[in-house]
Amino acid sequence: MNKLTLGILDMSPRLGGVSDEEALAQSAKLASGAENWGYSRYWLSEHHGMDSLACTAPEVMLAHIGARTSRIRIGAGAVLLPHYSPLKVAECFNLLAALYPGRIDLGIGRAPGGDAHTTMALSGNFLAHVGEMPEKVRQLCELMSGSYRYDGEPVRARPNPSQPPQLWMLGTNTKSADMAASCGAYYAFGQFMSTSEGPEIVQAYREAFVPSPDREKPHVMVAVHAICAQTDSEALTLAEQFRAQFPESPVGRSELKGNDDRMSLIVGDVQRVRERLLEIRDLYEADEIMIVCPAIQYEDRLESFRLTAEAAGLAE
């Protein structure tokens, strides 16, 4: 069987009006399931001031999840670097890498992660910080490689783990691809929230890639929306329920209805989902695919991820 390599991106949603505590407990449950089903990575996103999402600090939640899993790589998808000091980010993830050797991913993004007032309360002038993003990325890369200097003096991001975090850049445009390429980082393209020409952006990353101590060759992951169920009709029902409850969501229409929107949702039974994942892998020449599952019930979400793992042949 043509086996795929899959990861999970979890936003710690508060489904069905549950408490934040229950939403976070469900994320830990999903991470444990992902490890058992054969997923390679489990990532948490960072959001602020959103009633529907519970995780504001992935680095804290990852410490919790790392203690409840043993093999799967865990990481942030993504730390929103414009808000933070590169040194502090490097320290947090080096600490995680020392606690969970060979399992930590540091994904970097540049989105605000919340509404305007929450963003200003978090770090002030966000637009000014976005303008500093290339310099912050440069500093972070140097901190991760141990080559950073401040006023000519070496500065180290302690601790110094034997297996440093993998550095990923997340994005949906050429700016993120260029930053990933320039520092020799892994690149995750968010197809699920992009209307850009994804394959061209990914190819630009590959062509501009500069080898780094962490990576000798470019490495691409594509993140997609997917709902998998026992039958096509069951999957379509779940997709329609999600859109009815969250009409403001950017999730596109179902591919079962013939929509070719780049943001469309992969929805169907095991065979249909497998076919679409293979098509996406081949279109992007992707090394990995990351799954984002929009759902309104935790049980449906778990079952969708389990069946998607079956579709990818992860258990073989």
Chain-centre distance for alpha carbon 295: 17
- φ and ψ at 6, to 5 degrees? -125, 150
Confidence (pLDDT) at 261: 56
Confidence of residue 37 (pLDDT cuts 50, 70, 90): very high
Report which residue type is found at 54: A
Q: What is the average pLDDT score of the chain?
A: 93
Tens digit of each residue's pLDDT (9 = 90 or more) over 171-203: 999 999 999 999 999 999 999 998 778 999 999
In terms of residues, how long is the chain? 316
d(CA 175, CA 115) in angstroms, rounded, equals 22
The full set of domains in the chain, from first to last, is 6-312 (3.20.20.30)
The percentage of the chain sitting over the pLDDT mark of 70, rounded to a whole number, equals 95
Q: Which two tokens stand for residue 276?
A: 């679409």
At 244-298, the pLDDT tens digits run: 887 767 676 666 665 555 557 899 999 999 999 999 999 999 999 999 999 889 9
List residues bridging with 265 in a β-sheet. Answer: 254
User: What pLDDT, in 10s, does the model give residues 45-96?
Assistant: 999 999 999 999 999 999 999 999 999 999 999 999 999 999 999 999 999 9
Spacing of C-alpha 52 from chain mean position: 18
The candidate with the shortest Cα–Cα distance to 126, out of 136, 112, 138, 137, is: 112
Whether 151 shows a pLDDT value over 60: the answer reads: yes
Nearest partner of 187 among 153, 218, 228, judged by Cα = 218
Query: In this structure, are strands 153-154 and 149-150 parallel, antiparallel, or unpaired?
Result: antiparallel
pLDDT tens column, 302-313: 999 999 999 999
Rounded Cα distance between 306 and 32, Å, is 12
pLDDT for the residue 1: 46
What is the phi/psi pair of residue 45, to 5°?
A: -90, 165
Kindly report the pTM of this predicted structure: 0.95
Q: Which of 1-5, 50-54, 98-102, 295-299 has the lowest mean pLDDT?
A: 1-5
Q: What share of the chain is helix, strand, coil (3-state, %, to 5)?
A: 45, 20, 35
Q: What are phi and psi of 14, to 5 degrees?
A: -90, 85
Report the distance separating Cα 45 and Cα 11, nearest Å: 5
Do residues 98 and 66 lie in contact, with contact meaning Cβ atoms separated by under 8 Å?
no
For 94, counting Cβ atoms within 10 Å of its Cβ (0-12 exposed, 13-18 middle, 19+ buried), the class is buried
